[in-house]
Amino acid sequence: MITIALSKGRIFEETLPLLAAAGITPNEDPESSRKLIIATNQDDVRLIIVRAADVPTYVQNGAADLGIAGKDVLCEHGGAGLYQPLDLKIARCRMMVAVREGFDYAGCVRSGARLKVATKYVKTAREHFAGKGMHVDLIKLYGSMELAPLVGLADAIVDLVSTGSTLRANHLVAVEEIMPISSRLVVNQAALKLKRQQIQPIIDTFAEVVHQKV
């Protein structure tokens, strides 16, 4: 049995064509089904539906053989024990620093002022600001980061931006890009050795689809 860990939403939607190319069709739609284990048209392939941030944990521990996770999630997780053979170039966005309109971020950077930064991505943010030699107080949030500068919880946020409409709607502006983000295929290293006959063709097919798109 091959188990693939996916999250609902954009990653699931953008993974369907990749699965289809590998001849895998889910028997149910996780958006409407409450099942967390979804069978497929292939008797020996199943999907498990987990939170996006939990995908690396399932794969690292061998509870799933394969998974698809954003680079944001993988950076926070650290990637230990995971083989990352392929950038799938799906669910793309950018990890950005954003502040309230009119906030003098450049001035703070120049003067070395201590900044309060709210984010779900504490590790990524810590490394980014340390790399710039900036002193920051990090405030861990679990969502709706955009609110923090509006109510005085933080001077800046580190968050993902795709269209920019969430920032605009909240009178925030992006002031710095930390890194471009896309989703990667992750593979349990032991599973790759033990089940290579089943796993390698899936990796190869995904790679073909990704390369055809560019």
The least CB distance from residue 23 to ligand PRT, in Å, is 25
The least CB distance from residue 96 to ligand PRT, in Å, is 9
Q: Which is nearer to ligand PRT, 166 or 198 (CB)?
A: 166
Q: Which is nearer to ligand PRT, 31 or 104 (CB)?
A: 31
Enumerate residues 6+ apart whose C-beta is below 8 A from 50.
5, 6, 7, 36, 58
Q: Which is nearer to ligand PRT, 41 or 162 (CB)?
A: 162
The least CB distance from residue 89 to ligand PRT, in Å, is 12
Q: Is the Cβ–Cβ distance between 183 and 71 less than 8 Å?
A: yes
What residue is closest to ligand PRT based on CB?
70
Q: Which is nearer to ligand PRT, 163 or 197 (CB)?
A: 163
Nearest CA to 163 out of 101, 94, 214, 88 is that of 94
The least CB distance from residue 130 to ligand PRT, in Å, is 22
> What does the binding site for ligand PRT look like in residue numbers (CB under 6 A)?
7, 9-11, 51-53, 70, 72-73, 91, 93, 143, 159-166, 181, 183
The least CB distance from residue 194 to ligand PRT, in Å, is 28
Q: Which is nearer to ligand PRT, 3 or 15 (CB)?
A: 15
Q: Which is nearer to ligand PRT, 65 or 159 (CB)?
A: 159
The least CB distance from residue 12 to ligand PRT, in Å, is 8
